[in-house]
Amino acid sequence: MKQFLLFLACVGISQVYGVQVCNQKAPGTFEASPLNCNEFFMCRPGRPVLFSCPKNMYFDVASSSCGHQALCAGHDASLGNGEGIGPEYTPIETNPSRLVASSTACHGAPVGAVRLDTTGCRAFYQCTKAGPLRLECPVGTLFDSNRMFCEAADVASCAFEQNTGPSMGSGAGNLLNLLCVGKKVGTKYGHPTNCTQYFLCNGRNVAQLFTCPRGTAYHKERKVCDFANNVNC
């Protein structure tokens, strides 16, 4: 009986956690996380994407952006952390976000606006009171420049050249390509010799090399770029 109740509780969490939050919301809509004031979801077809605000910033529902002073309503820590729920319900996690003061992406844009990263489609900007916040789409997705949400990489339309193309030609590139032979698109590996790098297989036996944002390193178990002090190098 206890186990049955536990099961029910878990089902409840799974619905609240992401899927329920995004129910009937337009793709690209940001919704506050009911579990953590620091986090928010991007709703999209399929699993929602879970983003986190930088340290000491919180998702502000009113401006739909991260802020230092934010009203965090409806936060319910009793929902737990959503562990142990089915993969079809779990949000897709992302690399840490970061403020990029030097970016001009948000010039003239209101707080809460979403702007493209003109250097490629791996990321986009959320315009916050504290400046342009760079958010990276999760592995296997790209920011669709027309539809304005993180879309599966093979169907996303990208208005910009990718600055992280396949590293072919070099010896290291060939070695990485070998590791990708026969692997599904989006298969992700840490770089064999460089902690700050990882690569994705493109489904056609080619590896695409990526470098984690400054201050982060690739966490091989979690398969994300994590703060460097969380990673054993």
Ligand X SMILES: *[C@@H]1O[C@H](CO)[C@@H](O)[C@H](O)[C@H]1NC(C)=O
**For the stretch 171-189, what's the b/e string if a residue is b when 16 or more beta carbons lie within 10 angstroms of its beta carbon?**
ebbeebbeebeebeebbbb
Piece in contact with ligand X (CB under 6 A), picked from 62-70, 87-95, 191-199, 213-221: 191-199
Name the minimum Å distance from CB 163 to ligand X: 13
211 in contact with ligand X (CB under 6 A): yes
Pairing of the two strands 92-93 and 49-52: parallel
Piece in contact with ligand X (CB under 6 A), picked from 78-86, 94-102, 134-142, 193-201: 193-201
167 in contact with ligand X (CB under 6 A): no
197 in contact with ligand X (CB under 6 A): yes
Closest to ligand X by CB, 33 vs 196, is 196
Closest to ligand X by CB, 115 vs 122, is 122
Q: CB atoms < 10 A from the CB of 42, how many?
A: 28
Exactly one of 196, 202, 208, 216 binds ligand X (CB under 6 A); that residue is 196
Name the minimum Å distance from CB 64 to ligand X: 34
Piece in contact with ligand X (CB under 6 A), picked from 2-10, 16-24, 170-178, 189-197: 189-197
208 in contact with ligand X (CB under 6 A): no
Interface with ligand X: number of residues (CB under 6 A): 4
Strand (E) positions, 13-149? 30-32, 39-42, 49-52, 58-60, 65-67, 92-93, 98-99, 114-116, 123-128, 131-136, 141-143
Residue 214 CA to chain centroid, in angstroms? 16
Element spanning 151, H or E: strand 150-152
Name the minimum Å distance from CB 193 to ligand X: 7
HSE-CB for 123 with a 13 A CA cutoff: 25
- Interacting residues with ligand X (CB under 6 A): 194, 196-197, 211
